[in-house]
Structure 1
Amino acid sequence: MDGAMTETLTHYRTLDVPVEGGDMRVGLWGPDAGPAVLLIHGVTASHLSWPFVAERLPGVRVIAPDLRGRGRSNGLTGPAGLAAHARDLADVMDALEVERAVVVGHSMGAFVALVFGDLHPDRVDGIVLVDGGLPLDLPAGISADEAIRTVLGPTADRLALRFASVESYREFWRAHPAFARDWTPELEAYLAYDLVGEEPELRPSTSYATLEEDSIDQNTGTAIVDALAHLRRPTVLLTAERGLLDQVPALYDAERVPELLTRYPGLGHVAVEDVNHYTIAMSPRGADVIASVVRERLPAR
């Protein structure tokens, strides 16, 4: 498929949508009507996590917000937490006059997807959890800050760093093992978009305070427990073969997945080979699987 045809199919643009506390930046691909998919990014990411998935869904209305505290939604005021994100997403769907969508969440976005599906089941055609959404295997009694360090490690530490230029930020990421085989123009655009401020004091856009608030809710709140107890809509979990640092075991160890599937009957599962926690969404081979699963859940046209 040549570049001109890809651009025609995806038709990328952005829109600012009023939500509680300000405007939420929303990335859009595809037509302005028809079957819709709502893509929810991870804990320190943005809507530009999703171009590979969007281009594999021609003819589908793709909606991908920057969650509050991230990207160009980092100026929103008010509390965060999973229910707050779900409320924001409902407001976005209202503003775009979208009644229902297949809801896809990556990493923390998968937890948001579950809560959205629990609070707004009539707006969901199906839920796709991409390497997230189910309880993580953390030590009992761990504090919120310890949980952040255990799960995110250098990802959380990065938020305190400052960068002299966009290129220095890209060089910082070039050393990251997750993208050793998957350095792409799409990734470079994602990284440039992540920065806010002015040279030589550029910084990642994610608010650590919001990340901490979300992590506390994700790991100790009741919203996820309630959502998993209900699973009101068909839900499938996609798991990556490797973790955040391209390591084994992955975030959801293959040996632990059968126990999770037993605990949550009705939950489907797809193991995605040759990807890590990042590249399950941000590589062509990972996006192939996500798009295929989404297409199976889209309503008939």
Structure 2
Amino acid sequence: MGLLARVLRAALTPRSLNRSQTLVVAERLSAATHLVASLELLARGEDRKPGGVNDWSISRQNIRHRGVTAQRFFDVVSGPRASAALHVARAASAAFLLAPTDRWRKGRLIANAVVAGTSIGTFPGQLYGTDGSDQASFLVQAAATVARSSRQPRVADAALWFLGLQSTLNYTASGWVKMVSPTWRSGRALPGVMRTVTYGHQGAWQLAERFPRSAKTVGHAVLAMECLFPVVLATRGRLAPAFVGSAAAFHLANAGLMGLGRFVGAFCAMHPALLYVTDPRRRSPGAAGESPRNDAFPAVAGALAAATLTGAVVAQARRGREVRRGHPGQRRIETRAGNVLAYLPENLGQDGPVIFFESALAATDLHWDWLRRVLSPRFPTVVYQRAGYGASEYRGARPFTLASAAEDFVDLVGHVAADRPVVIVGHSLGGYIAMRSGELLGDRVLGVVLVDSSHPGELDRSPRQAGGAAMLDSTLRLMAPSMRLGLGPLLQVPQSFGHLPADVRQPALTQYRDARLWSAAHREWQATRADFAAFDGQLPKLRARVLVLSAGSTLKDDPVQADLHRELGQAGSGATHQVVDGADHDTIITREDFANQTADHIRAFVLNVTGGRREGSDR
């Protein structure tokens, strides 16, 4: 009992270094991460040359949405020579911080600033070869720069409080994201990770398979440690050594088993700050006349966070009202299921079949804008929003299924097109829903256009799709609650939004940040997984002709899609298959040049199925 009492006393006793020591240890742990990262990237100089994985002429596409000034800046610093120079400067500064230069405040200030600044400059051009450790160590170095910029202890304390709170947030967010996953909750996550090619470890996987209860216990212990991490702050430091020690052991285990060595220095660099700010002894004058810790930062940060959250929730409510008002010219109908569908008809007085557009999962109706602008002057068109998206309403009279989505669409066609023939254009999941709808409508459908469409067998036959499905499930569970909390402005804007017509980008983004879109997407995804799991190999039968449009990048990245797309075409009375070279799953309709190619294929297809002039004879 005496030994157990001493162990418990040691684990529950607040402990920390003094202010100066804490700052130095944090700097050095983080600097080690930067030094290793830069040396690794310098050793792989071929990656930055033409054709390399970090070829800037290709990587710069990732910053197209950041504005002209940012693009010019990163063009200057991301070339092979400039990038190498920045890494040399970062490595040299990190080495200086690791050296015994503790008393040279100005020198360490400059070194911290160089490491932080060069990290900003190099990151966009080094997406392959960087990871979360780079971001964490950047925060440490930036905070250290602030702490070194003043001789006032309260400035250093504010910087250390920032790191302590950031560390707590890192673990808490990571834990609750895992908690959403049924794989983590069931205890299957650890064996699954250890079996992967990227992070797997054969010995650990074999042990997890041999001792499943132990593996489950370890997985649940990780969840508990991360989800409960805020108790470090709530218990006045008593549990800080235990939690910080557990987190450090977790990172060391990941380094040994998964090769995540840089995570040790990056995330453990925040631990000294967390121990310092939770140690109650630091509130009073310490040895050698050290001034008491200043605890103003968490109070100020908490007040600002509360004010920001309140403003974000108010903004989210306003955003929701704006989305529900809809676009000018939109109309609404109520389906037999009680749902309300908002739709935008154009040129309905024009002769010929009415073209209906069926959107992808978690997409806005404005994703079709390039195609709508090209096709509506020539044909009657209708762009609509499925139940729950945008200005449409899902009233939940019965459980949502893909069959009920198709029935809603049939009601829309009957209301808008009466007895006129129709052509259905569907993108991604919208393509499969278009097939389901086309089967119900029978001879009324002259043609179905499947734009990089989903196939109900893709989760079984495509490892790439199966892998993405698990991640998508966890993501969609979190999105709607996050949007309701007003976190929409933090949502990363997909690159495809930057390709949309300038006048619809903001309305599309407003929809994308609306909680209702993500609730609808999660509901549809659950229905999709159930539908695809029950797939018996029989696709919907269409009496109409089918045009299959594949994005070139889709076929290149996932060769299984070629067979899936060919099978989709065979579901109709005749099929044409076209590939839009260079386009990916989104840009095939959202980027003007690819969208124009897609529109040309659709125009020629519609003229063909209606007996009109063939492709090339009319625009």
TM-score by length of structure 2 reads 0.39
Which amino acid in the other structure matches residue 273 of structure 1?
D
SS of the residue 1:17 aligns to = strand
Per the TM alignment, residue 218 of structure 1 is displaced from its structure 2 partner at its CA by 3.7
Per the TM alignment, residue 124 of structure 1 is displaced from its structure 2 partner at its CA by 0.8
Return the alpha-carbon distance in structure 2 between the equivalents of residues 151 and 51 of structure 1: 26
The correspondence of residues 1-301 of structure 1 with structure 2, limited to 5 A, is: 13-19=329-335, 20-35=337-352, 36-57=354-375, 58-77=377-396, 78-98=398-418, 99-139=420-460, 148-149=469-470, 154=475, 157-162=478-483, 169=488, 172-174=491-493, 176=494, 178-179=495-496, 182=499, 184-185=501-502, 186-196=504-514, 204=518, 206-221=520-535, 225-227=538-540, 230-242=541-553, 249-250=556-557, 253-254=558-559, 256-258=561-563, 261=566, 265=570, 266-298=574-606, 299=610
Return the alpha-carbon distance in structure 2 between the equivalents of residues 32 and 276 of structure 1: 34
Contact 1:40 1:65 in 2 (8 A): yes
Return the alpha-carbon distance in structure 2 between the equivalents of residues 106 and 279 of structure 1: 11
Change in Cα spacing, 1:14 to 1:262, as seen in structure 2 (3 Å) is: closer
Return the alpha-carbon distance in structure 2 between the equivalents of residues 236 and 97 of structure 1: 21
Per the TM alignment, residue 115 of structure 1 is displaced from its structure 2 partner at its CA by 1.0
Which amino acid in the other structure matches residue 232 of structure 1?
R
Which is richer in strand? Answer: 1
Contact 1:170 1:188 in 2 (8 A): no
The one-character-per-residue Cα deviations of 1:88-133 (angstroms, maximum 9, x if unpaired) are 1111111113422111100110001111121212121111101114
Change in Cα spacing, 1:74 to 1:263, as seen in structure 2 (3 Å) is: closer
Change in Cα spacing, 1:271 to 1:12, as seen in structure 2 (3 Å) is: farther
Which amino acid in the other structure matches residue 17 of structure 1?
I
Which amino acid in the other structure matches residue 225 of structure 1?
Q
Contact 2:459 2:469 in 1 (8 A): no
SS of the residue 2:417 aligns to = coil
Which is richer in helix? Answer: 2
**What is the RMSD of the two structures over their aligned residues, measured on CA atoms?**
3.5
Aligned residue pair count: 272
SS of the residue 2:425 aligns to = strand
Change in Cα spacing, 1:21 to 1:297, as seen in structure 2 (3 Å) is: same
Per the TM alignment, residue 50 of structure 1 is displaced from its structure 2 partner at its CA by 1.1
Which amino acid in the other structure matches residue 381 of structure 2?
V
Per the TM alignment, residue 158 of structure 1 is displaced from its structure 2 partner at its CA by 3.4
Per the TM alignment, residue 235 of structure 1 is displaced from its structure 2 partner at its CA by 0.8
Which amino acid in the other structure matches residue 40 of structure 1?
E
Return the alpha-carbon distance in structure 2 between the equivalents of residues 238 and 193 of structure 1: 26
SS of the residue 1:257 aligns to = helix
Return the alpha-carbon distance in structure 1 between the equivalents of residues 428 and 564 of structure 2: 19
Return the alpha-carbon distance in structure 2 between the equivalents of residues 41 and 154 of structure 1: 20
Contact 1:101 1:123 in 2 (8 A): yes
Change in Cα spacing, 1:123 to 1:160, as seen in structure 2 (3 Å) is: farther
Larger Rg over CA atoms: 2
Change in Cα spacing, 1:32 to 1:294, as seen in structure 2 (3 Å) is: same
Contact 1:261 1:268 in 2 (8 A): no
Name stretches of at least 5 consecutive residues in structure 1 with no aligned partner: 1-10
Match of 1:8 in 2: none
Contact 1:149 1:156 in 2 (8 A): no
SS of the residue 1:21 aligns to = coil
Per the TM alignment, residue 38 of structure 1 is displaced from its structure 2 partner at its CA by 0.7
Return the alpha-carbon distance in structure 1 between the equivalents of residues 414 and 594 of structure 2: 30
Match of 2:7 in 1: none
Name stretches of at least 5 consecutive residues in structure 2 with no aligned partner: 1-326, 613-619
Change in Cα spacing, 1:255 to 1:194, as seen in structure 2 (3 Å) is: closer
Which amino acid in the other structure matches residue 257 of structure 1?
A
SS of the residue 1:13 aligns to = coil
Change in Cα spacing, 1:49 to 1:192, as seen in structure 2 (3 Å) is: same
Which amino acid in the other structure matches residue 345 of structure 2?
L
Contact 2:569 2:577 in 1 (8 A): no
Return the alpha-carbon distance in structure 2 between the equivalents of residues 156 and 110 of structure 1: 24
Change in Cα spacing, 1:249 to 1:294, as seen in structure 2 (3 Å) is: closer
Which amino acid in the other structure matches residue 34 of structure 1?
D
The one-character-per-residue Cα deviations of 1:139-196 (angstroms, maximum 9, x if unpaired) are 47x9xx987325677566534422776xx7466333x4x4386265233321213444
Contact 1:110 1:130 in 2 (8 A): yes
Return the alpha-carbon distance in structure 1 between the equivalents of residues 514 and 471 of structure 2: 26
